[in-house]
Amino acid sequence: MRALADEPAARGDDTARLVSNENGMPISLARVAEGQGPAATLRYYAGLAEAMPAEERRPANQPGRVTVVRREPGRLRVHRGDQARPGRVRLRLSR
């Protein structure tokens, strides 16, 4: 996910300029919201995923018992846009 965040970060200035021209958004706001924002969001969630333990033990409803919760990593698949929507990127989580 961190590698995926590098993609919008590298094109941040171009994206900000495009959004500013199309929507009339001030360029200073577009640089933050559209240029840096998507990459920062992806990096934030990558950090959460890295910090989450793979296994967690919780007290069960019955005394003396424990519930074990295991989180298995999935694969994040990236689907790039087609000719109709070249800038579109979809993410799918598969196991």
For residues 17 and 35, what is the distance between their CA atoms, to the nearest angstrom? 9
**What pLDDT score does 26 carry?**
93
Alpha-carbon dihedral 55, 59, 60, 66, rounded to 10 degrees: 50
Which of helix, strand or coil describes residue 43? helix
Model confidence band, residue 87 (pLDDT cutoffs 50, 70, 90): low
Query: Domain residues of the chain, as ranges?
Result: 2-94
Model pLDDT for residues 2-59, shown as the tens digit of each residue: 888 888 888 889 989 988 999 899 999 999 888 889 899 989 988 988 888 888 899 9
* Most confident range, picked from 2-6, 63-67, 91-95: 63-67
What is the value of pTM for the model shown? 0.61
Helix (H) or strand (E) holding 92: strand 89-94
